[in-house]
Structure 1
Amino acid sequence: MVQDSEDELPECSDRSEVCSKVDLYGSPWVERQCRCPDGRTCPSSLHGDDGHTIVDKTRQYKLCEPVKRLPICRYFKDVTWTLAPGGGPANATVQRVYCRCRPGSVPYLVRRQAYRSSEGNPGFIYAFACSPQSRLRCQHKEPCRLFTVRKRRSSQLEEVNASPLCQCPKGHRCPRRHTDPGSLPARSYSGVLEIKTYSGYCVPLQSHHSEAVYNI
């Protein structure tokens, strides 16, 4: 578990800023991002039904305000959240949520935008949008899942966003993790956040399996 002291955290700048992250991709860990204003408490449980949580597959984003106040995102058009370097000695990342993806949809990295901080330091803002989950069959040599991996510089932990793209044919399965067989490096974004992407391709099931598998 990664968790900073409440006294060491900056105050959340607005209600859209994520105050805590819960990652269940591997060994569960919690990372505090900022303190909620007015003495409110930021949820840090492993449950996603507290009314303050945006659930993204194996990751949960906790907000100071109830998530029901956020509008529903339009597919491919609205930015659901952004990631940007927060600066400071810990070089923390600031994540802001602007709208909620519809149930069953998939957040994906849509663009990277250069900017300069108030101190004049260059950096990038990464924006994510929502896509409906596809049930189409994967074509030959077409990736079935996209992984976006962000390495934390302060530790060996990785934040992984896995986005299913299509359904593997019968007798094949899609890699569940970016380290599984069938997952290959796709593209890297150098900078403070060190984001890498991997493409997962359908691989044959073991001989004792007989049905197609589509993992979301």
Structure 2
Amino acid sequence: MSRVSDVKELIAGRAAAELRDGDVVNLGIGIPTLIPSFLNGRRVHLHSESGLLGVGPPASPEETDLNLVDAGRQPVTVTPGASSFSSVDAFAMIRGGHIDVTVLGALQVSRRGDLASWMVPGRDVLGVGGAMDLVVGAKKVIVATTHRDSSGRSKLVPECTYPLTAENEVDVIVTELAVFDVQDGELVLRELQPGVTKDEVAAATDAPFTSAI
């Protein structure tokens, strides 16, 4: 993939394949917001901590309603039967264990499934948002992220060196190179992205992992 958008779409499309009919899913900002375009008819109920259930694809300029925004404050559409409610109720759904899956980005993920997603020391704080609640409250946590950061460093690391969002909560990691599961405190390579080899994944990954393929 030569263009950044292609890489992001590849990741979002593969992450979308992890979702099942009937799932209630919360999408983080960045790459996860592309997932609605890759659901291919599956009936997934998209939840936003801004107070929406039934979020649709991003809104075109003609469709924009500033009362309908996702967690990143970007205008979205809604699906038939969608509902709106307060942010308090949205977080009650999260904390009450009613979210089946959350998909979010990452700055680092450790071999044990620790997640760092909100702050790089010495830089402007990105903000936690609802991530700390989501990764603990959701039944399944999927990280959809580029394999390396903007400096070329692996985001999959033995131990996170950035402030943590949560410990031991990540279940699946999807990058432009591969799909990993976190099982019994270790990373397990489940799938290679098209055209990628195990050697390429190993060279790009600082964290130790085993392979199921």
TM over 0.5: no
Q: TM-score, normalised by structure 1?
A: 0.29
Which has more radius of gyration? 1
Structure with the largest fraction of helix: 2
Q: TM-score, normalised by structure 2?
A: 0.29
Structure with the largest fraction of strand: 1
